[in-house]
Structure 1
Amino acid sequence: RLLKGAAVEGVISTKRAARIPAMRQKTFMVPMETAPAILAATRNESPYRSALRRAGLDDEDYKNLRREVLLAAGFPKTVDEIHDAMRSPPDDLGPVLNAMCSEGALLRIKSPNIRSNDFTFAATKVWVGKEMKNIPQEQALAWLAGEYLTAFGPVTYEDFAWWAGVKPDDAANALDAQDPAPLADGLMIHRRDERALEGTRPHLGRVSLLPKLDCYTMGYAPNGRARFVHSSLLSETYDGVGNAQPLVLIEGEVHGTWSFRGAGDRITIAIQLYDAPGPRLQAALEDEAHLVGGFLEASNVTIEQERVARPARRAAAKAPPRKALKRGSLKPARRKTRYGSGNGIGFSAVPPTRYGSMTAISPPGRHTRRISAKITGDTCSGTSWKSKLAVTRSNDRSA
């Protein structure tokens, strides 16, 4: 279910969810009951220890500062408030706080608004009422592999290793512990999802504006992203270290990018599309933009839509063969596939890829469509959003 910013903070304040460094050491919001297992499965203290050394802090320094932080952060405090409460704080407290979060001793609690990363921090034992449960990493990673198979399958060993940020051998052992059903080309799926895979159908008319680092677009290794993005667009959709940019998915395939600007209750959502959507998909695109505006707590949303040139689709280089499965024999390749995504506090289905659903743009120049919409009221019932919109449209062309 789509939550507004205040509701997102609500699941933190009621202790139903926690923000922890998890997959690839990015900060995730996860259910409180599974936070210890996710933290244990993806724990990697090496980058945090390196940051401490660069700050001139040795193990003894960190031990003493850690004790002071836990005493100072009995309830949520900002970095400056923690700094002022300590007897001998370092100039930069960030490396210490990050290292403590990686251990699960400290939690990120609240930011000034949904768009800010300036969190308050609190000691886990005080905030939750107990310390994070200590779970062996091998056991936790095997459990996480099962959750990943269900949410993202079909996948490969390489996909899971990239997503979780763990060593390839550890990823392979964790997936093998789930005894997945083997498919063709090194793909595998959870055995309980094998029959459901055969009955999967495309979701026509579905449009999604996915944010930067979205869990779906971050769910696969580079070789596994062909299911939703053409290889010619990879440089436009991912940065140099593999972080996904804000993307427009139309019927499961990347057809553009988007961004937003503004403050308070007024924002502008700028959409750049490689293709021209028909009336039905255009309406779905506008509805999705208004949902994003609602999530960002904006009551007045302006949509700027622009067509941009699609990079030339050169012949893709032949991909290296996928790593062979460790178990069993391969079954015949299946044409129908199901893909999934994790949404931070639970997993949800994501529409499958459907290629060739839109016509490429050939005319030169660009076409800009500007739509101003004022949200005068909204209600939410389950997954259904209703908004009263006063819409004015103007079309203009520029060379």
Structure 2
Amino acid sequence: MRSITAAERRARLALRHRLAPQARTGDVLDIARSMVVLHATDPATVFLSVAARSTGAVPAAVERALYDDRTLLRMLAMRRTMFVAPTELVPVLQASTANALAAKQRAVYARIIERGSDITDAASFFAEAEEAAHKALLARGEATGAQLGADVPLLRTQVDPAPGKSYSRPTNVTTWILVTLGCEGRIVRGRPNGSWISSQYRWSPVEAWLPGGIAEIPAAEARADLVRRWLRAFGPAPVTDIKWWTGWNAGDVKKALALLDVTEVDLGGGTGVVLSDDLEPAPAAEPWAALLPALDPTPMGWRERGWFLGGHGPALFDRNGNIGPSVWWDGRIVGGWAQRPDGEIAVRVLEDVGADAEAAIEREAARMADWYGDVRAVPRFRTPLERELTS
């Protein structure tokens, strides 16, 4: 059995995730493709993940890819997480993941509606509200949730989400309807009202990004395609990492792998899989430094992170498993960082990395400060070290 060490995995990561200087690029779409998708739960993550891998792209270049060229699209997918994906990948994400997520969302919201209102046939109500909202959006071309709520009376229907609970407050169904339409691939979160750190999006029909709509492909084929792309970017890895990243059940992961040509490898203490045409040793990269943002797709790409995280998890992760801003040196996490209210990038290295590494990390901090400019962004999920650095 081929043995792939942690050092070799880190060498692959350096080049495939475009973190080593020689692998960086100014092409925003290529950066997204390198990572399969970019995490977008926190809007700033998309931009800062590009910054870490870029040779010259600025925030406006990311906005252009998202909203003008429309080569990238924002959608809910794996683990009910928001991602920014290359548009050619959207049919794969839709068939492999989002369709099932839409059905689950509709069922959950229908139960809440029936429990918290006088509506007895929530499924019919939900379908009618979806159609009315979609029709209104097509008429407008682009709209906020509030604008669609003004156009469609059904969206203003009030529901008590937790009847009998003192903390429950009546809410209208607008967001539930629009989120489900997004999961179905019928509408898209477009340009936000505000800067690149804003999450107040305007909605658009999906045809604004994909003129023919989202192409339909078989779910099994889509799942195999997504795993193949993930293995190319993140492999080799244990099958449990694939299951965690996709959010699928073990059976679906096993079926997807059965459609691919993969080889088992020894990861030094465990078994992983790799694409069979990807067994050659990775070329070495020069030592490199990177400042990755909270929820960056690299550290969030694997469930088992010991081979690059070391003992720094308690300082850098919150209680729900979300990583904060992390400092990397030559394929390992060695510290954390934060943007202070005055714009300074504060860095703390948690182990001895040497003078050369510290100098490279300082250069990356200066580069990140330039990217922010006058923008101030607090991570959506705050971690112990990030809080400490900004206190």
- TM-score, normalised with respect to structure 1: 0.68
Match of 2:107 in 1: 49
In 1, Cα distance between equivalents of 2:328 and 2:286: 12
How far off its partner does 1:164 sit? 0.9
1:39 partnered with 2:118: no
CA–CA distance in 1 between the matches of 2:367 and 2:181? 36
* Distance apart, 1:166 and its partner CA: 0.7
Once the two structures are superposed, the pairs formed by residues 246-325 of structure 1 within 5 Å of their partners are 246-262=325-341, 267-298=343-374
Separation of aligned partners in 2, 1:149 and 1:283:
33
1:1-399 to 2 correspondences below 5 Å = 1=25, 2=54, 3-13=57-67, 14-43=69-98, 44-45=101-102, 46-47=104-105, 49-56=107-114, 58-74=122-138, 75-90=141-156, 91-111=172-192, 112-184=194-266, 185-195=270-280, 198-201=281-284, 203-204=286-287, 206-221=288-303, 224-230=304-310, 232-262=311-341, 267-298=343-374
CA contact (8 A) 2:312 2:334 kept: no
Distance 2:246 2:376 in 1: 38
Count of residue pairs brought into register by the alignment: 297
CA distance in 2, matches of 1:26, 1:300: 24
Give the aligned partner of residue 316 of structure 1.
none
Letter of the 2:137 counterpart:
A
**What secondary structure does 1:121 align onto?**
strand
CA distance in structure 2 between the aligned counterparts of 1:48 and 1:269, rounded to whole angstroms: 43
Q: Which amino acid aligns with 2:83?
A: F
The CA distance in 2 between the partners of 1:10 and 1:299, in whole Å, is 18
> Secondary structure of the residue that 1:240 maps to in structure 2?
coil
What do residues 124-165 of structure 1 show as CA deviations (whole Å, max 9, x unaligned)? 135532221122221100001110110001111101010111
- Secondary structure (helix, strand or coil) at the match of 2:335 reads strand
Q: Which secondary structure does the structure 2 equivalent of 1:183 belong to?
A: strand
The CA distance in 2 between the partners of 1:122 and 1:16, in whole Å, is 15
| 1:28 counterpart SS class | strand
Indicate the structure with greater strand content.
Answer: 1
User: Displacement of 1:21 after TM fit?
Assistant: 1.0
Cα deviation, residue 250, structure 1: 1.4
Structure 2 Cα separation of the partners of residues 269 and 52 of structure 1: 46
Q: Per-residue CA shift, 1:347-377, capped at 9, x if unaligned?
A: xxxxxxxxxxxxxxxxxxx9x9x9xxxxxxx
Q: CA RMSD in A?
A: 2.7
Letter in structure 2 aligned against 1:67 = E
- Matches of 1:261 and 1:76 in 2, distance apart? 35
Report the structure, 1 or 2, having the larger helix content. Answer: 2
- Measure the CA separation in 2 of the matches of 1:300 and 1:240: 24
Residue 84 of structure 2: SS of its match in structure 1? strand
Higher relative contact order (CA 8 A, sep 6+): 2
Cα distance in 2 for partners of 1:19, 1:268 equals 30
Counterpart code for 2:232? T
What is the CA distance between 1:200 and its match in structure 2?
3.5
**Secondary structure, counterpart of 1:148 in structure 2:** helix
Change (3 A) 1:119 1:214: same
Pair member with larger Rg: 1
Distance change >3 Å, CA 93–CA 63, structure 1 → 2 = same
